[in-house]
Amino acid sequence: MAGKTKNMHQVKQIIELHFKGKGIRETERMTGITSKTIRSYLLRIKALDVPPEVLLTMNEEQLREMLYRDESPALQIDGRFKIIEPQLEYYTAELRRRGVTRQLLWEEYRKDNPDGYRYTQFCEYIRRYRQRNDAVMHFTHKPGEQMQVDFAGDKLHYIDRETGEVIPCEVLVCVLPYSNYTYAIALRSQKQDEFVGGICRALEYIGGVPESIKCDNLRSAVITSSRYEPHFTDAMDYLAAHYGTTAITARVRKPRDKSNVEKGVDLTYKRVYAPLRDITFYSLEELNASIRKQLQDHNNRSFQRKDFSRSQLFEEEKPLLKELPNTRYEMKKVTWGKVQKNYHVIVGEDYHQYSVPFTLIGKRLKIVYTADMVEVYDEHTRVALHNRSRKNHGYTTTAEHMPPHHRHEAARKGWNAEYFETQAGTIGASTQAVVKRILASKSFYEQTYNSCLGVLRLGKQYGEDRLEAACTRALASPIINYGTIAGILKNNLDKQKTLFDSPTSAIPEHTNLRGPSAYQ
């Protein structure tokens, strides 16, 4: 470039004034730089094909390298650069592929160009090209415009009180880019229903709906990723329609497209994970209650080197959010199940069984379930409604669905372990001890209820005294069940005295028996 090279802050003045629509003459008058120099810089800037707002964010060294990269002596005198220059974009793209290294690319380059650059210079040109194309653009977000969502890489957990099992939880983080107001929630998984439910709760937390919701290309949200026309799941489309918003995705492998939530995840590690690291939680509800408290502290904390917080900035943004609909969107799944002989149908996702009227045994019913509810339909008639349980191989039973004799017993007696122990205790200590042994013989108490019921009914058949005697005799046995007690009573063994029941005086006198005096 002819003439003396200008300082980069002067060049930035030229760029800024041109960006504001100032002409060359007016720029010359305002800066004191000749029109010829201004025109030369503007031509060079135009040739870069880089937005002016991006150039203005660069420091002086980066801007200088961008403007003068084709004037370095190495590029002027070395014709080898003309060969490698068109390939730099290809090399940069190849380095993103798994297993591809600079060494491999250089070896391929040297195979085609034996007199080409050595490895060090080859890598330097790739570095310069990548640095030039990695310029970061500053995005200015409007209030109420968007909510960015993403899952944190690290998980939280709670402990199941009954089994002692550690249950890992995914953490969904949602951020409003204008105010950086943050929401986070622990979920059981990244499955579609959990993800959709997490977004619904985030919208309820902020008390409104932004114009768009931007997420990563998660399987829970996107069927086919595309820069121009991503194909969302039906659940995401229905959610967007329900709340009157638009679902959009970030570009693949472009984390800066959602930089606010990326930073939000990092701050969640520091402001939520770290304070909770030594606390033990015993349910998902407990965990999320503590997360909410930490979020409140985080959102109320002032920004670094600023005298206002996310919450204060959010108060300006909140009036610009759309109103929430009257009802929460619930994603529904549909499956079918045959009613088993125990008048229950199975939701295979959790392998949990839900009761239906016993009159439907053998019929194939439609099961519609959400994250919270399970509905069962016989054609168009709903025959059962239950709260959804996530307990694998568990049972949820409504008394009204039982046959009359089952319902009568259950309603009248309220079967549970405590009930059977109490009833046995009214007969005697041995009967109660036998019932406790039977209850403890299985992993689930419910599997022993019929055995306990049978033992108690033996008292009506043979009398409570005989049942107590039979139980006393059975306690010496290593295995106790209904069959053991019934066998003792049937064979009248409860009426026979055991060795422990015989008095010591029953031993007959005999001349060959020594008494206590023989041992003095």
Residue 515 lies in a domain: no
Predicted local distance difference test score (pLDDT) of residue 517:
55
Over 70: is that where the pLDDT of 320 sits?
Answer: yes
What does the longest C-alpha to C-alpha distance in the chain come to? 144
Predicted local distance difference test score (pLDDT) of residue 73:
44
Over 90: is that where the pLDDT of 345 sits?
Answer: yes
Residue 500 lies in a domain: no
Which of 65-74, 78-87, 99-108, 351-360 is predicted least confidently? 65-74
Q: CA-CA-CA-CA torsion for 380, 384, 385, 387, nearest 10 degrees?
A: -140
Is 195 in the same domain as 240?
Answer: yes
Is 185 in the same domain as 305?
Answer: yes
The CA distance from 167 to 169, in Å, is 7
Predicted local distance difference test score (pLDDT) of residue 1:
44
The CA distance from 257 to 230, in Å, is 15
Is 396 in the same domain as 463?
Answer: no
Point out the domain boundary residue: 133, 165, 189.
Answer: 133
Each residue's pLDDT tens digit, 12-22: 888 888 877 88
Predicted local distance difference test score (pLDDT) of residue 20:
79
Distances (CA, A) of 463 to 200, 301, 473: 61, 73, 16
Is 16 in the same domain as 104?
Answer: yes
Nearest to 495 by CA among 470, 514, 459, 458: 470
The CA distance from 94 to 157, in Å, is 39
Is 52 in the same domain as 15?
Answer: yes
Is 118 in the same domain as 166?
Answer: no
Predicted local distance difference test score (pLDDT) of residue 258:
62
Domain total for the chain?
4
Residue 510 lies in a domain: no
Each residue's pLDDT tens digit, 424-466: 999 999 999 999 888 887 644 455 777 888 899 999 999 999 9
- In the block, tokens 């943004």 appear at 317
**Is there a contact between 144 and 210 (Cβ–Cβ < 8 Å)?**
yes
Is 225 in the same domain as 351?
Answer: no
Point out the domain boundary residue: 263, 289, 320.
Answer: 320
Residue 230 lies in a domain: yes
Helices (H), 400-502: 404-413, 417-425, 429-439, 449-462, 464-474, 482-490
Is 243 in the same domain as 306?
Answer: yes
Q: Is 214 exposed, middle or buried (0-12, 13-18, 19+ CB in 10 A)?
A: buried
Which uninterrupted H or E stretch holds 233?
Answer: none
Is 373 in the same domain as 485?
Answer: no
Q: Would residue 106 be called left, alpha or beta, if left means φ above 0 and alpha means ψ between -120 and 50 degrees?
A: alpha
Distances (CA, A) of 199 to 50, 194, 211, 258, 344: 36, 9, 14, 16, 32
Is 18 in the same domain as 109?
Answer: yes
The CA distance from 12 to 247, in Å, is 38
**Is there a contact between 84 and 109 (Cβ–Cβ < 8 Å)?**
yes
User: The domain spanning residue 233 has which CATH number?
Assistant: 3.30.420.10
Residue 457 lies in a domain: yes
Domain of 463 in residue numbering reads as 415-495
Residue 455 lies in a domain: yes
Point out the domain boundary residue: 77, 98, 133.
Answer: 133
Write out the DSSP string of 55-122.
HHHS-HHHHHHHHHGGGSHHHHH-THHHHHGGGHHHHHHHTTSTT--HHHHHHHHHHH-TTS--HHHH
Is 153 in the same domain as 262?
Answer: yes
Residue 442 lies in a domain: yes
Is 166 in the same domain as 306?
Answer: yes
Residue 518 lies in a domain: no
